[in-house]
Amino acid sequence: MPGPPAPWSYVAVDERRLTSHRVKQHLADQHERQSQLASLNGDTQTQPRAEELPSSLIENLESKEFTSRPSAVLVPLVLKNDRDIGSVIVMTRTMSVSHHKGQVSFPGGMTEPTDIDSTDTALRETEEEIGIPRNAFSVIGASTSVQTRSRTSMITPIIATCSLESLEAITTSPDEVAELHVIGLDQLLAPDCYMSEIWDFGNLSAIIHMYFVRDSQGHPVFIWGATAHILTDILHCLVAPSFG
């Protein structure tokens, strides 16, 4: 059945903007709420359990199994000046990868034993898959972890910004990336580019987010699943100029 409108639908089109400062504050608010919940539950773990994740962020509602097998993705936000975010980078995976064949996703993958943490995983995978070196990114922080339906794995989204100039370093891995997309924020936030549906899974239901957009080359891109959930969470940071 049809879901709710975009969270930013109340903001005038010409006032829709996203800043790195607001994203940082949003992540801090997320972590504070998680800490308060853990404190109320007497749980000292910083990683949220599956049942604590917002239903809009859980794709794996058909399964009662939960695993903490770690993976991470980088959400590369491209700055158009020193504070305003102008676009986001996603990619279409090849049909030869092990998981998410042909799907649009953020760069990322499973944590390796040599990785220091989720941030290290996300930056390493990004450099391997799309060629942008880790020192080109300024990491803002980690967002709420997501469990996907197709993999028994918790994905930690790492949010980071990079400059327009850093896009010159892009060299995609032919084994993993079929096409790379730079999608303008104006595309993601344009009227009629976003829709949602409510999917029922037995005694549970969830809002499924979807984006029908075009990248900087004019190619159509369909974003849904965990990638769309992560993206929608970040776009909750959308602020009109009067809101700071």
Residue 112 contacts by C-beta under 8 Å, 6 or more apart in sequence? 121, 124
Domain chopping of the chain, boundaries: 13-40+66-243
Residue 222 to residue 220: CA distance in whole angstroms: 7
Write down the architecture of domain 13-40+66-243 according to CATH.
Answer: Alpha-Beta Complex (3.90)
Quote the mean pLDDT of the chain. 82
Start-to-end CA distance of the chain, whole Å, equals 35
Position 63 scores a pLDDT of 41
* Per-residue tens of pLDDT for the chain, all 244 residues: 888 888 888 888 888 889 999 898 888 888 887 777 767 766 555 444 433 334 334 344 344 444 556 889 999 999 999 889 999 999 999 887 666 677 899 999 888 999 999 999 999 999 999 999 999 999 999 988 887 655 556 889 999 999 999 999 999 999 999 999 999 999 999 888 999 999 887 777 888 999 999 999 999 999 998 899 999 999 988 754 444 4
Tens-place pLDDT, residues 35-70? 777 677 665 554 444 333 343 343 443 444 445 568
Position 171 scores a pLDDT of 95
Position 149 scores a pLDDT of 58
